[in-house]
Amino acid sequence: MDLEKLLADRLAQAFSVVAGGPVDPVVRRSQHADYQSDAALSLARRLGRPPREIATEVLGQAELADLCSAVEVSGPGFINLTVADPALGALLSRMAVDTRLGVAVSAAAETVVIDYSAPNVAKEMHVGHLRSTVIGDAAVRLLEWLGHRVIKANHLGDWGTPFGMLIEHLLDLGESEAAHELSVGDLDSFYKAARVKFDTDDAFKERARRRVVALQSGDELTLRLWRLLVAESEEYFLTVYDQLGVLLTEEDFHGESYYNDMLAPVTDELDRLGLLRDSGDAACVFPEGFTGRDGQPLPIIVRKRDGGYGYGATDLAAIRHRTRDLGATRLLYVVGLPQRQHFEMVYAVARQAGWLTPPAKAEHIGFGSILGSDGKMLRSRAGGSIKLVGLLDEAVTRAAELARQKNPDLPEATVADVARAVGIGAIKYADLSTDRIKDYVFDWQRMLALDGNTAPYLQYAHARIRSIFRRAGIEQFTATPISIVHPAEHALALELAAFGTVVTASSRTWSSTGSPATCTPSPPPSAASTNTARSCAPRARCGTAGWRCATSPPESCTRACTCWASPPRTAC
Ligand code: ARG
pLDDT band at 67 (very low <50, low <70, confident <90, very high): very high
- Cβ–ligand 1 contact at 114 (below 6 Å): no
**Residue 177 vs residue 363, higher pLDDT:** 363
Q: Could you tell me the end-to-end alpha-carbon distance of the chain, in angstroms, rounded to an integer?
A: 39
Q: Could you give the CA distance from residue 302 to residue 324 in angstroms, rounded to a whole number? A: 20
Instruction: Report the pLDDT averaged over residues 42-57.
Output: 95
User: pLDDT of 97-115, one tens digit each?
Assistant: 899 999 999 999 999 999 9
Q: Could you give the CA distance from residue 249 to residue 167 in angstroms, rounded to a whole number? A: 26
- The pairs formed by 275-283 with CB atoms below 8 angstroms and a separation of 24 or more are 275/349, 275/352, 275/353, 276/302, 281/305, 282/310
Nearest to 232 by CA among 157, 196, 178, 195: 178
Q: Could you give the CA distance from residue 162 to residue 242 in angstroms, rounded to a whole number? A: 27
385 forms beta bridges with 379
Is 568 a residue whose pLDDT tops 50? Answer: no
The percentage of the chain sitting over the pLDDT mark of 90, rounded to a whole number, equals: 73
User: pLDDT of 141-174, one tens digit each?
Assistant: 999 999 999 999 999 999 988 999 999 999 999 9
Q: How many CB atoms lie within 10 A of CB 36?
A: 18
pTM score > 0.90 for this model?
no
- Cβ–ligand 1 contact at 334 (below 6 Å): no
Distance (Å) from CA 335 to ligand 1 centroid: 7
Is 267 a residue whose pLDDT tops 90? Answer: yes
User: pLDDT of 422-481, one tens digit each?
Assistant: 999 999 999 999 999 999 999 999 999 989 999 999 999 999 999 999 999 988 777 678
Residue nearest atom 6 of ligand 1, based on CA coordinates: 118
User: pLDDT of 122-132, one tens digit each?
Assistant: 888 888 899 99
What atom of ligand 1 comes closest to residue 336's alpha carbon? Answer: 12
Mutational test site, ligand 1, from 126, 132, 155, max ligand atoms within 8 Å of CB? 155
Q: Please give the pLDDT value at position 561.
A: 42
- Cβ–ligand 1 contact at 315 (below 6 Å): yes
- The pairs formed by 501-509 with CB atoms below 8 angstroms and a separation of 24 or more are 501/2, 501/3, 501/4, 501/5, 503/103, 503/142, 503/145, 503/146, 504/2, 504/103, 504/146, 506/142, 507/106, 507/142, 507/143, 507/146
Q: Using an 8 Å Cβ cutoff, are 363 and 510 in contact?
A: yes
CA 364 vs CA 88, 268, 333, 348: distances in Å: 37, 26, 5, 13
Distance (Å) from CA 321 to ligand 1 centroid: 17
Is 526 a residue whose pLDDT tops 60? Answer: no
- The pairs formed by 371-377 with CB atoms below 8 angstroms and a separation of 24 or more are 371/439, 371/440, 371/441, 371/442, 372/441, 372/442, 373/441, 373/442, 373/443, 375/441
Q: Could you give the CA distance from residue 125 to residue 153 in angstroms, rounded to a whole number? A: 17
Average pLDDT of the chain is 87
- Cβ–ligand 1 contact at 157 (below 6 Å): yes
Query: Considering the domain 3-83, what is its CATH architecture?
Result: 2-Layer Sandwich (3.30)
Residue-range domain boundaries for the chain: 3-83, 388-481, 519-572
Which SS3 state, helix, strand or coil, does residue 15 take? Answer: helix
